[in-house]
Amino acid sequence: EKLDFDTKNLERRLNRAEIDREMKIGQLHKMNQLALKDAPTQSNDEKRAALEKANARCNILIQET
Cα dihedral: 38, 42, 48, 54 (round 10): -20
Max Cα-Cα span within the chain: 63
Number of domains composing the chain:
1
Q: Give the whole-angstrom CA distance, residue 34 versus residue 42.
A: 13
Residues of the domain holding 45 = 2-63
User: Tens digit of pLDDT for each residue in 6-55?
Assistant: 778 888 888 888 888 888 888 878 877 877 776 677 788 887 887 788 77
User: What is this structure's pTM?
Assistant: 0.47
